[in-house]
Structure 1
Amino acid sequence: MAQRAATIVGGGIGGLAAAIALHRRGWRVEVLERAPEFTEIGAGISLWPNALRALEVLGLDRTVRALGAVEATGGVRDRRGRWLSRTDNAELARRFGHPLVVLHRADLLRALTEALPADSLRPASEVSAVRDDDHGPVVEHPGGESRPDLVVGADGLRSAVRGALWPDAAGPRYAGYSAWRMVTEPLAAPPSEGAATWGRGERFGYTALPGGRMYCFATASLPAGAEVASGTSQHGELLRRFGDWPEPIPTLLASVPPDAVLRHDLYDLPPLPSFVRGRVALLGDAAHAMTPNLGQGACQALEDAVTLAHCLDGTPDVPAALRSYDLLRRPRTRAISRRSARLGAVGQLAWPPAVLLRDAAARLVPERAALRSMTAVLGWTAPGDQVPAAGTAATDA
């Protein structure tokens, strides 16, 4: 079989992972990224066992684990700092084969780009048009036209590929709350446990990064596009909202450089009727953007990447392979997206009686039951694995 070519639109985690998976199967790949370089800024990322299993397929799990940190325990606290639930990372690893690893997004992007030939990476290459006709797909970009055997749209929430070939698809929908993300300076005595603290319409979480740094994130229920008060920075807004929350939150905020706070309104995508059109497939946020409440956005993109490559392996019929990819990925990602949205709605509750009931219910759930409820998400097994993990069905638990 002649070498096949793939054009991946978008140089984020999912796009690079798809390029690696295809390259290692003999495809000629190019990754078109509109930014002037392949990088991420300012925030951490949680890689759960299913993501590490996908990275294992790519041969990168050990590399990535060496770049990250593994906490002993984590969990959820109430507004007064009392534990509502806790999770033992050793038990997580025992059940699902890998621990939860947290690292900086820039470190993960660097590991992915280094796994690809340098000449396959094409920064400053914003796509101007995508079409799929009788002669195959065409992608127009500053370097000219690409006419590959396969196009992968991995260009995020506001995907140009999705807009071109799914013009009638519903656009992103606002989740009802905004998020802040930040990384502290190295701490002399970083917290030994990670936690998410639930308040009333607000949350604040933190988890360890290598080198004594902590990745922190916060949410608040706000109208889309809401601005902070005039003369107030995003860091100042965080101090106003969370400065009197239980330790270590005030200490962590004091250790964040004032200009290092990122804020984004959170969106997800309504379900698409299909992730594929002819020889074009959507992947990651371009296909199924979800809220970050389960920490599964990048994890699902990694699953997409290795599943796509598996479906294409050994068959010349690209449209048929993409239909198989769609059947495998769409039900699963839809279920996880819905579950993440529900968890976010619970975490953002603001009516005091509802908050009291939520916190009381969380205290009653045993750790083993909580881990068992995550089996449908974390127990995913890559296509082609000999021994499937229990509970991998795409159920909406």
Structure 2
Amino acid sequence: MAVDAKAKALRAAGRPVIGFGAGEPDFPTPDYIVEAAVRACREPWTHKYTPAGGLPKLREAIAGLHGVAPSQVAVTNGAKQGVYQAFATLLDPGDEVLIPAPFWTTYPEGVLLAGGVPVPVATDESTGFLVTAAQLEAARTPRTKVLLMCSPSNPTGAVYPRAALEEIGKWAVANDLMVVTDEIYQHLVYGDAEFHSLPAVVPELADRTLILNGVSKTFAMTGWRVGWMAGPADLINAALNLQSHLTSNVCNVAQAAALAAVTGDLSAVAEMRVAFDRRRRTIVRMLNEIPGVVCPEPEGAFYVFPSVQDLLDRPIRGRRPASSAELAEIILDEAEVAVVPGEAFGTPGYLRFSYALSDADLVEGITRITTLVNESA
């Protein structure tokens, strides 16, 4: 978000910056969802307080998606509030949370705010950025309480195969761990990849797993701020006790829009996925043509996470980046392209590019970086 804000400020100052920073679809919210919100605005009931846990019809619809009771669902102000509430509910001071790295920047912050200890478990492109049960076991201690999973992944786009999730899930059960699984990108998978939900793969996990999800990515609704938590009733009740004091209900108009989204068909989503898939293949090809850049092909979400380690300590327009953070600064200053350095995701030496932008901007932005690197070679 900081990179995106800087890019927008530069554009406002008249510079032709192309931003690969924010994880935000460039499509408008589908019309039928917007119309549901317009109708809700005119209904007097939306002008009043509603239950903190969410509109009953929305909770019921979400419960149907996950095969749980409505009492096992809490509607939150985006999935980000769900992240905070999950850790605030689950953790006591000093409890450890295993977090496969690279990770979304908010995960460790939520753990720290709850007094917990984030424990990164490193992965890299050699394994497709997938963590194994053996790696998790090596990182486990007597203080380990929670495993955090995200598939499809932000920032890598990695998607865990069913067999890998089964192994990890059974390991978590055997070690009496709680699991928080972020499934916000579940509908954005490509090629032969398939999305699998951990508690569906390992049913023994159902009473110890909190699922985080929302409408932001799937339906191009990042600004509507509607997410949810689904899981054991006692954990959801505890999270709602916190939410009742923290924010109360999510905006009723946004909840009405979310209800239209989750109960409608996925045809608009399918169209967006086709565009994302096309851009995914384009950006992977173009990045791999840049000397010193190695970009694995992601299977989900709308990010690529290429290694730029071979570009470090090399002169680029008179500057010699010692880190991917410094390289990102040079790319912004010299090529007017905004990218997010791997340091933000716990993995230096990489850059994250969101390909949720127009085809033309994508090609222009990567071309500028190519020119910058080639002229410095």
Q: TM-score when scaled to structure 1? A: 0.26
Q: Which one has the bigger helix percentage?
A: 2
